[in-house]
Structure 1
Amino acid sequence: MTVGPTGRSEATRQGPCVVIAGGGTAGHIEPALALADAVMRLRPDARVVALGTERGLEKTIVPARGYPLEMIPPVPMPRKPNVDLLKLPLKVRAAVKTTRDVLDRVGADVVVGFGGYVALPAYLAARGRLPIVVHDSNAKVGLANKVGARFATRVAVATPDSGLPNAEVVGIPLRESIINLNRAALRAQAREYFGLAPDAPTLLVFGGSQGARTINTAVSGAARALADAGIGVLHAHGPKNTLAVQQVPGAPAYVAVPYLERMDLAYAAADAALCRCGAMTVAEVSAVGLPAVYVPLPIGNGEQALNAQPVVAAGGALLVPDDELTPQKVAELVIPMLTDPARLAGMSATAQGTGHREAADVLARMVLDAIDKGLS
């Protein structure tokens, strides 16, 4: 096989090959796949190949979305000095070699990294050989993207003040099903799908894919107060958790489910949300115009509160520390919000105005531009 100067096979010159590296969590994978979809909209002759590891969610998510997945060794960064840190150079070297082989074999024209275990070896394998585009969704940038940004062709971020050099604020790429969601048009179908009251103000509750104990306890504890106020609830409690809520006769239903397969219908069914504030969650909830009560994850580096800060400051959401979320606090915040249609409408418009609905297409154009300049 003849390989051109960019590492791309001469036999595959019919369209650009974009390699996306964003494995591990949904917060890395979903923006990468939204970018993939946007590339294919703009360049139907393109090919998109994803990099992943055996331990990441991409193992199931990426093939289900119709994109080929190439496995590479993960390179987790130890948080503390230990024996794993001593082994890191050998792990990085092996992962970079494997990744470089993949890039040559698929005829890559550009590497687009979104952070996480997969991104670092991808950046190092592409360095000096291919254009690199970095995207970071979080208010606090991770180590992999800090490294990749040093030799990237373009750097895109979700929020200002990321600290990355030459960063361009584009927002977070989102799926078309979220960007184009018409909540009002789907409302009746969504309420029927979940078994919710057709006309009651409705709260959507979720704590990430695994649920959140604090949120589960606080909202279920407020069930009677919410019912008495005429508020329905759709509560995703997590597949490993259980939730028993006594229904109040004559009140709107409190529907508890382990997991939400149809987030589009969940958003359409709701008038407001109470949830964590990971970067993807804030981007999606804002894009569909849902007022929110955000409850940051109490561990980590505080990035969740920072993710929510722009929409909270604008007036499209409220923020409650995890240790302050009680049944009483839920009732105190949620009932006045959901029983005031004018306030809901104002918060909805504000939330939607803080987002970057065009982020996927903007990033896709940056990626294709990087390819054009790399091939020139």
Structure 2
Amino acid sequence: MPAPGTGVPQGFPAGGGQAQRPLSVVVAGGGTAGHIEPALALADAVRRARPDARVTALGTERGLENRLVPARGYPLELIPPVPMPRKPSPQLLRLPMKVRDSVKRTREVLDRVQADVVVGFGGYVSLPAYLAARGRTPIVVHEANARAGLANKIGARYAERVLSATPDSGLSGAQTIGIPLRESITGVDRWALRAPARAHFGLHPHAPTILVFGGSQGARTLNTAFSGAAEALGRAGVGVLHAHGPKNTVAVQQVRGAPPYCTVPYLERMDLAYAAADLVVCRSGAMTVAEVSAIGLPAVFVPLPHGNGEQALNAQPVVSGGGGELIADAEFTPQRVIDQVLPLVRDPQRLREMSAATIGAGHREADQVLAKIVLEVAGQ
């Protein structure tokens, strides 16, 4: 995009003079880790491509972005959230006023940072970002879920480019590129890291090992099923690394002489957790499915039974390709762990086949692909 009155692309010297201001990218993906992590992966990729670029994240005062964004070294601008009620309620009547206030505040941020492009990933923060940028700043939309949310459906109407993690997301004309992931995940060599990863968590160095987690807040169904099956897993010679969530606790019966069953509230080093495991049992949020696919880790997915069924849809391409299995939440019991998960983790040949199928379904370079598109849209 030429700089006004110069005919020269922004970020390049005009007429032999000083270079113009650095490229300014605004990412909107606050609320949950599933929205924040792709935004930060894009931010990292933009910085690698353009070290002088300035990337600003939008968020709300209650979202996880307050912890995750500053920790990655990016400035965070807080705006009022715009939650979209799923059913008619008194909140719906107050929505227009909330939208106006949030759009006004967001527009002030875009003007202050001189945004060249706004990249939205859905959620409460993206809707005001799209409306504030409409007709003023180019928009790029990325949809991570298999079924697009309302914010991205609105943003796609005004976007220069629309991208998605999977085909048939519900966004017309979307280009499928996968989900941007951190290099610390896409660069994991599971076999090279296995020994130090297992030592880090206190796991048995050689025993078949299952990784269990249900997201940043844990998952009651997974916690109950695995704590009930812990003794059987130990007697079968299987180790477990179980992240139960910071608000939950898990009591397990350790079997003398068996591989350890290690419980932690939260996994700060997901790269090491993935490297330590032979099999993962987890929910099937879009980010989780993308990470598992990218590194080739066999998976048993237990989709959340809430929402519009997007978690089951997220897992379907991996399951259909032979890289994972799917068990309904209501059917995931201690006995199901013993009958289905235990034999699977003790079958090396089956795990190798699943790993090959899983990694084939991944998009390891989605962060670089999206960064290139964002730079193109910004005229850089």
TM over 0.5: yes
Q: TM-score range by the shorter chain?
A: over 0.9
Q: Indicate whether 1:336 and 2:348 are aligned.
A: no
Is contact 1:14-1:45 (8 Å) kept?
no
Query: Where in structure 2 are there 5+ consecutive unaligned residues?
Result: none
* 1:110-137: CA deviation from partner (whole Å, max 9, x where unpaired): 0000001110010011100111000010
Which of 98, 101, 112 is the equivalent residue of 1:105?
A: 112
Q: Indicate whether 1:40 and 2:62 are aligned.
A: no
Q: Indicate whether 1:50 and 2:66 are aligned.
A: no
Q: Which letter does structure 2 place at the counterpart of 1:330? A: V
Written as runs of structure 1 = structure 2, the 5 A alignment for 1:297-316 is 297-316=304-323
Partners of 1:331 and 1:15 in 2: CA distance = 57
Which of 75, 94, 101 is the equivalent residue of 2:82?
A: 75
1:28 corresponds to: 35
Deviation at 1:177, TM superposition (A): 0.2
Q: Indicate whether 1:160 and 2:167 are aligned.
A: yes
Which of 127, 144, 147 is the equivalent residue of 2:151?
A: 144
Which of 286, 294, 317 is the equivalent residue of 1:287?
A: 294
Q: CA 1:12/1:147 → structure 2, altered by over 3 Å: closer, same or farther?
A: farther
Three-state SS of the structure 2 residue aligned to 1:161 is: coil
Q: Which letter does structure 1 place at the counterpart of 2:241? A: L
Is contact 1:139-1:307 (8 Å) kept?
yes
Which of 137, 150, 157 is the equivalent residue of 1:130?
A: 137
TM-score (norm 2): 0.94
Is contact 1:222-1:328 (8 Å) kept?
yes
Partners of 2:359 and 2:98 in 1: CA distance = 43
Three-state SS of the structure 2 residue aligned to 1:122 is: helix
* 1:30-87: CA deviation from partner (whole Å, max 9, x where unpaired): 0000000001111112110111110111111101100011111111111111221111
2:96 corresponds to: 89
Query: Where in structure 1 are there 5+ consecutive unaligned residues?
Result: none
Identical-residue share of aligned pairs (%): 71
Q: Which letter does structure 2 place at the counterpart of 1:116? A: G
Q: Which letter does structure 2 place at the counterpart of 1:42? A: A
Partners of 1:327 and 1:58 in 2: CA distance = 35
Q: Displaced runs of 4+ in structure 1, greater than 3 A?
A: 8-12
Number of aligned pairs?
369
* 1:252-287: CA deviation from partner (whole Å, max 9, x where unpaired): 111111111111111111000001000001111111
1:364 corresponds to: 371
Partners of 2:111 and 2:194 in 1: CA distance = 48
Deviation at 1:246, TM superposition (A): 1.3
Partners of 2:345 and 2:92 in 1: CA distance = 50
Written as runs of structure 1 = structure 2, the 5 A alignment for 1:194-273 is 194-273=201-280
Measured on the aligned residues, the alpha-carbon RMSD in Å equals 1.7
Is contact 1:150-1:165 (8 Å) kept?
no
Partners of 1:21 and 1:4 in 2: CA distance = 26
Q: Indicate whether 1:348 and 2:352 are aligned.
A: no
Partners of 1:76 and 1:325 in 2: CA distance = 32
Q: Which letter does structure 1 place at the counterpart of 2:140? A: V
Partners of 1:102 and 1:201 in 2: CA distance = 51
User: 213-222 or 332-341: which moved more?
Assistant: 332-341
Q: Which letter does structure 2 place at the counterpart of 1:270? A: A
Q: Which letter does structure 1 place at the counterpart of 2:44? A: D
Q: Which letter does structure 2 place at the counterpart of 1:147? A: I
TM-score (norm 1): 0.95
Deviation at 1:13, TM superposition (A): 2.7
